A and B are shown apart, each in its own frame.
Chain A
Amino acid sequence: MNKRIIELWVGLFMLVATTALLALALKISGLTGSVFGMHSYQITANFDTIGGLKLRAPITLAGVRVGQVTDIKLDTTQFKAVVTLQINDKNKLPADTSASILTEGLLGANYISLQPGFAENILKDGDSLHETHSALILENLIGQLLFSLKNSGEKK
């Protein structure tokens, strides 16, 4: 076979593989953000408990995805969970925004939902959220329910 055609095919092979790798990176593992110049800023939030929140969990505002969780650490002085939130740059949030950890469906994965406040100034890189609502732990909830049921039974 002609040498040129062989070279052409090999080139095409390499090109297809590179395209497939790009597809794997962008479409399948969702690798976007800082790598391709999509700017974002990071804020932190302290929670009493984060339940089953995992790295790269989505952050939503009014149900729309605005960023993701990039880091979860333990604050060893206050014994609180410090969660770093990466928010896309185009979403400007008021400074008194509050965050709560919610669950998708009854047994789904945890995500962070933001409720915007009314402040004039906006959150900047490195700021932290003051008002947070921890995750609901199902077992605790059931425990409380049983306790209150028992109490109300005794009163009668």
Chain B
Amino acid sequence: MASAAIPANQIPETKTNYLTNGYSLKSWLLTTDHKRIAVLYLISITAFFFLGGFFAMLIRLELLTPASDLMHADTYNKAFTMHGMIMVFFFLIPVVPATLGNFLVPMMIGAKDLAFPRINLLSWYLYIIGGGLILHCMLTGGVDTGWTFYTPFSTAFTNTKIIEAGLAAFIAGFSSIFTGLNFIVTIHRMRAPGLTWSRLPLFIWAQYATSIIMILGTPVVAITIVLVAVERLFHLGIFDPRLGGDPLLFQHLFWFYSHPAVYIMILPSMGVISELITAFSRKRVFGYRFVALSSIAIAVIGFLVWAHHMFVAGISLYAAMIFSFLTFFVGVPSAIKVFNWTATLYKGSISYATPMLYAFGFIGLFTIGGLTGLFLATLGIDVHVTDTYFVVAHFHYVMVGGVVMGFLGGMHFWWPKISGRLYPEGWAKLSALLVFVGFNLTFFPQFILGYLGMPRRYADYSAMPDFQVLNVLSTAGASVLAVGYLLPMIYFLWSLRYGPRAEANPWAAAGLEWMTASPPPTFNFDETPVVTWEAYNYEELDHLKEQKEVAVG
């Protein structure tokens, strides 16, 4: 279509695709092509991931010994704040929606682009502005409140750069609001003919649920951060008890968003896993409707559980009981997903390709992360383990073990589509193994540390030197994990130049995105596809393939 306007001086096999449609910097920085924006996001988010990882390594190195000897306590506090802020606002929240989601949502539903391409580009610029601010903030002094900005510490007792950091989070928040808005409109209005809701890939369902949370939750944290900043500037006192304010109000408003934000992070990865499991067992997902609706259920119930972060914060006994009870409800849809994925494997034809290894890893780690979440929802246990390393281990199992495993699995799966190249399978398998082993070595000891009573955010644990053994284990694991994360970046870059060319559908997978060239043309499809089949129609696909083989043979 686009090539119609271009003189036919192209070699047929390298027909213009989205990557070759213009090489100038301007053609990238002013693009409205969702695929190019996805690539821009991929580059910038990867950069932030390694920056956040750098801070993680600093933290782990400091904790190698009980005393605070590598850096001053203040520096340590800034390091974990930066780690948290960068990882949460600039990596975990956007990572899957803004990269894979941006690339795949229009392709999976047979659209030429997202509904609002320019707003999509604006999202990326907002992300970059927010990211630039946080970098500036980091280089000119940093912040030491932790990513949670608890008041009144943040409003009245620290003299670090709260306003700038808050502004960075605020702007990044708007970037994700716009992404969510774009996805919802696109999914509602731009599906290809015949692509009914019950035929949508589960990745789309997950993105849809995520977008609902982005739209409803992010504005609340945005206004909360604004109030913190304004309170610092003008001494308003809305959260300051000395002026009659209530610091718990801040926690309520903050967690009203930040708990659902956890689902912004994990839901898209769950969507990825649904795609991987079906593609590599060549089966329709077990219980499609339940998997799809469980995403929506998580998004909705996720808004009703925020105060479970506050069981020891001074809320009333009965509020705590209600929120504990509601929290167990969130466990159900998450459990449904895990059970359905497992059941999908039954009588499948299971391949051990790298993306599938990541999917197995996801199930393994997310199961542990989810179950330990139940520990924290259980009031009597939460009192002891909250604010200890138990919590740290729990959310890393969900965030890193879940989100990052899903992201990497998805990157391997769709890399041929994004880049048009195949990655080296052997190295990829090695890195999947390293990530899994390194992850468990890093974070499992932290569960034990937490139950033994090591509090979070301690630069110095010389009061309890016996915690050192487990901390050393954890730091050792982190080194393995770092190698596991660096490897894919290296071989993905390598494959851009040396990897074998990928065909349109190297995995013989179902889904509209595989029905167009790799890499796809600028407007995705030469003709708008008309969908007459259900999602994950592997039976038909295999049948067609057999027929073809017979015909050729």
Answer yes or no: do A and B interact: no
